[in-house]
């Protein structure tokens, strides 16, 4: 498999990885712009734009967009995140020109019809309503809002009913003109694709893209982690609980170390949290750790789902495991985590869609594809001392973020959790165990 990269005169970057044993191609356009690039009165517009891109162009109606790709057995979809938006397709190799044409059409010739806009707003309002009714969605939304209070990074990608209802076609066009420019867009394909032929298609079809760098929205400022407490009492069978800390940005030295630490703590059935909290003590039915990286910050979290009566015992055990991670980690735990990450990496490369997404993320973050060897070399440099030192700095030097929904009456207060993370709390936790 070979990765090739071409930067067009327009500033648009085209990247392919040829996988000759396949009959299909996964391709897409990744935009280095998401909900974080919205201004104060644009909350939810990035996600709305992603929906509206499929609702008709100067050459195709919404129905024609759906029918043309499915007439050849292909798929077309999109996704919005805090810092990126992607539009992607999966087709047989002979239909790559059609897929490129359709992607270019929706990103350069969308009409944003007012009647379609009304209908799509209604769809998104239903989506917002469904998320409010889903506790494990709500708890993560509150978690982000609390960790990055009053910042676009902490806002829900969906927006609010009020903001979504307020948007006009002109506002969508203005957001798109400001952010969807060649310097921030990457066209990537993986599978049975010929690089030179693909570049020619992209260069022709995407000639209408706005050139140059994006204009940064006034609201996009360096992220400031705030931490805090957000809990909501609901009459539910279980409590959804998150405890988190400021993490590390993609470019920071500790980023991969944070990924390994999250894996050791709660990355699978062999992880510390799963074994101690779920298997040995039976305090919850789900528990795991995660680390999300962003361009200038990150968030490290632990999620647990449990009955409300278990909270008084569960929280001290979680805090105790954080203290243990800052004191001692086994070499075999690091080796197992590296093996898991390596396996996930290699298995993902067997899927052209996963591989295209991985290449796109690397281009947006680092400006170049990262080889497997380089990734593994970074992981090999992670030692026991680095992990325990990082755990000490992550968990015990800043304000935690707590988010919970359900029967939360027996959940420890934020002050009690902070105390449990301190040296005195460490001693009392040891005594209790």
Question: Is residue 50 flagged as an active site residue?
Answer: yes
| Three-point CA angle 246, 251, 255, nearest 5° | 50
Given 42, 50, 145, 201, the catalytic residue: 50
Q: Could you list the active site residues?
A: 50
């Amino acid at each position: 498999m070979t990765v090739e990269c071409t930067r067009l005169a327009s500033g648009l970057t085209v990247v392919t990885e040829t996988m000759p044993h396949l009959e299909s191609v996964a391709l897409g356009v990744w935009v280095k712009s998401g909900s974080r690039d919205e201004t104060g009165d644009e909350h939810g517009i990035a996600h709305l734009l992603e929906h509206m891109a499929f609702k008709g162009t100067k050459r195709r109606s919404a129905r024609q967009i759906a029918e043309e790709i499915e007439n050849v057995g292909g798929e077309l979809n999109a996704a919005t995140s805090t810092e990126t938006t992607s539009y992607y397709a999966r087709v047989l190799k002979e239909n790559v020109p059609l897929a490129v044409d359709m992607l270019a059409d929706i990103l350069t010739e969308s009409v944003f019809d007012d009647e379609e806009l009304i209908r799509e707003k209604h769809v998104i309002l239903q989506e917002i309503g469904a998320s409010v009714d889903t506790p494990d969605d709500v708890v993560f939304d509150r978690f982000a809002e609390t960790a990055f209070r009053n910042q676009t990074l902490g806002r829900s990608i969906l927006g609010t009913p009020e903001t979504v209802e307020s948007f006009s076609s002109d506002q969508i066009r203005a957001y798109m003109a400001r952010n969807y420019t060649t310097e921030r867009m990457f066209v990537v394909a993986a599978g049975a694709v010929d690089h030179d032929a693909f570049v020619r298609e992209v260069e022709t079809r995407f000639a209408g893209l706005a050139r140059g760098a994006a204009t940064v929205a006034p609201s996009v400022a360096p992220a400031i982690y705030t931490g805090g407490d957000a809990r909501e009492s609901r009459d539910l069978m279980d409590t959804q609980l998150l405890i988190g800390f400021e993490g590390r940005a993609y470019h920071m030295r500790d980023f991969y170390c944070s990924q390994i630490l999250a894996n050791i703590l709660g990355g699978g059935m062999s992880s510390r949290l799963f074994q101690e909290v779920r298997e040995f003590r039976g305090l919850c039915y789900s528990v795991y750790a995660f680390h999300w990286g962003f361009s200038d910050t990150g968030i490290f979290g632990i999620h647990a789902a449990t009955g409300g009566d278990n909270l008084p015992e569960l929280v001290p055990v979680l805090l105790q495991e954080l203290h243990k991670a800052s004191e001692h980690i086994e070499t075999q735990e690091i080796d197992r985590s590296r093996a898991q990450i390596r396996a996930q990496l290699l298995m993902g490369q067997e899927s052209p869609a996963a591989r295209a997404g991985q290449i796109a993320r690397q281009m947006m973050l680092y400006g170049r594809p990262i080889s497997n060897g380089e990734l593994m070399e970074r992981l090999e440099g992670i030692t026991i001392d680095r992990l325990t030192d990082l755990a000490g700095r992550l968990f015990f030097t800043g304000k935690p973020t707590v988010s919970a929904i359900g029967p939360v009456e027996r959940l420890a207060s934020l002050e009690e959790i902070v105390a449990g993370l301190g040296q005195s709390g460490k001693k009392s936790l040891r005594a209790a165990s």
